[in-house]
Chains A and B, each alone.
Chain A
Amino acid sequence: MKRFKTRWAVAALALAATIGTVACSEDAGIEISDAWGRPSPSVATAGAFFMTITNNGAEDDALVAATSPACGTVELHESFMNEEGAMAMQPVPGGEITLPAGGSVVLEPGGLHVMCIDKLQDFTEGADLELTLRFQNADDTTFDVEIREP
């Protein structure tokens, strides 16, 4: 019974999401949703920001840089499993994350992330950390990243 209810809830959410997406798709430009970062101790000098970036425009774009008053430096990184079967991390190849026209790119644990190096503010649960993203074509966008468990 519980499973049945969950299924309906998921279906309802999917429907709502579809309607929501359709409703927003007329706005051109870049849309950021679900921006979050995991709480981490102050001795951890690096942190990561995750989010979904949707390019509603008709042209491909790219995330090329980021800045934040909460970080000494911000870089675009990706985690991946390397040929040794180990988890590896590196700055994104080419230094940018491509945002295809009409598509969404998900930055999530174990994949792409905006890396905050030399944290200047605490990543405590509930904190809102300001982040500015710079794109190849679209205007800069500044928003808050919520520090919370996923």
Chain B
Amino acid sequence: MTDTQAKPRPRSSLPVWLPVLLGILVILALFAWFVLPRLRPYQFNGTVIQSEMPSTNFTLTSADGPVSLSDYRGRLVLLYFGYTFCPDVCPTTLADVNKALDQLGNKAEDVQLIMVSVDPARDTPEKLAEYVEFFNPTFVGVTGADEDVRRVATLYNVWYEAHDEEGASGYLVDHTATLNVIDEEGHLKLLIGYGTGADAIAADLDYMLR
């Protein structure tokens, strides 16, 4: 092999395979950018519950009369436990859910938020209705006798405890602040923790309503 006789290639002519290689690279990049993310399974922001056991039905009292979980079969139910004296955690969550429903557009009609009061002594059904409807007119608030509320909370692994405070609050109620998402067939499918944020809640609900 000797190249002493080879004339230097003119600078302007690039090897023919170069545009082909570039073309392939561009196609690969586009594939990686647009197609690969769609092939990955959806990653929930909440915690997925894979029990096939149907959620236990319950009936509590709203301002418009008795409300049962089974009334909302066929829709996604967001079951939340809170109280109207709660100034921080509950309003944050309810406002986040409202924002998430906004993002879902028409699909929001297939979602029902129910807030169960963990403070039945102070929260009347009327007070609860006014409270939850402030955040979204479709939200429903329910309460009941102490033991009935406690039973429902226990069914959904919700812990709550009132504690007296020296200040003006009288007492405060610490409570599990998780949104329980019950699917259209009545199975608990997802737990969304406090602070998940509206966008992440909307993404999970949107996927469940696909």
Residues of A with Cβ closer than 8 Å to B?
38-48, 72-73, 75, 77, 79, 81-82, 84-91, 109-110, 113, 115-118, 149
Of A38, A46, A110, A116, which one neighbours B95 at CB under 8 angstroms?
Answer: A38
- Whether B88 pairs with A73 at a CB distance below 8 angstroms is no
A-contacting 9-mer, from B7-15, B144-152, B160-168, B202-210: B160-168
In the complex, B85 has a CB within 8 A of chain A: yes
- Whether B168 pairs with A89 at a CB distance below 8 angstroms is no
- Whether A41 pairs with B131 at a CB distance below 8 angstroms is yes
Closest to B126 in A: A43
Of B95, B167, B175, which one neighbours A86 at CB under 8 angstroms?
Answer: B175
CB-CB under 8 A from B84, the residues of chain A are: 43-45
Closest to A109 in B: B92
26 A–B contacts from the bound complex (CB under 8 Å): A41-B130, A41-B131, A43-B134, A44-B84, A44-B85, A44-B91, A44-B131, A45-B84, A45-B85, A48-B88, A75-B167, A79-B89, A84-B159, A84-B174, A86-B174, A86-B176, A86-B177, A87-B89, A87-B175, A87-B176, A88-B174, A89-B88, A109-B89, A110-B89, A115-B169, A116-B87
- Whether B131 pairs with A89 at a CB distance below 8 angstroms is no
In the complex, B127 has a CB within 8 A of chain A: yes
Closest to A112 in B: B88
| A2–B195 alpha-carbon span in the complex (Å) | 26
Instruction: Decide: A115 near B89, CB < 8 A? Known: A73-B168, A84-B159, A87-B177.
Output: no
- Whether B174 pairs with A91 at a CB distance below 8 angstroms is no
Instruction: List 8 A-B pairs, minimum CB-CB distance, nearest first.
Output: A41-B134, A73-B168, A88-B174, A87-B177, A46-B87, A48-B87, A109-B92, A117-B168
Most buried by B among A39, A77, A109: A109
CB distance from B152 to the nearest CB of A (A): 16
Closest to A45 in B: B85
CB-CB under 8 A from B58, the residues of chain A are: none
Closest to A47 in B: B87
